[in-house]
Amino acid sequence: MSKPVTSKDAIGHVSRMNSINNDNVLAIPLNNAKIKLASLNKVMAQIGTNDFGKCLKCHKPIALGRILFRPQSLLCVKCAR
């Protein structure tokens, strides 16, 4: 659905605009997924170290409930606000 539409393609103006709109709609969740994956990779790299489960900002432990609900969390609730 998110393949580029070239000017060579024989589609009308409305179809081209729909395609552009679909690209924009799909770009946001894709970007969010990339950000989540990057955060998860950072957390995975911390496993087995003293930094695992600690907030990057205040260095206090992140609540277990937050880690279980949102494992990609790098900040405690207070610092995330």
Map 22-52 to HEC letters: HHHHHHHHHHHHHHHHHHHHHHHHHCCCCCC
Radius of gyration, alpha carbons of the chain: 20
Residue 32 corresponds to which tokens in the numbers above?
């969010």
What would the pLDDT profile of 54-70 be if each residue is shown by its tens digit?
999 999 999 999 999 99
- The predicted model scores a pTM of 0.63
Give the three-class secondary structure for 54.
Answer: strand
Domains defined along the chain, listed by start: 13-80 (1.20.120.910)
CA 58 vs. chain centroid, Å, equals 23
What would the pLDDT profile of 21-56 be if each residue is shown by its tens digit?
777 777 888 999 999 999 999 999 999 999 999 999
How many other β-carbons are positioned within 10 Å of the β-carbon of residue 40?
Answer: 14
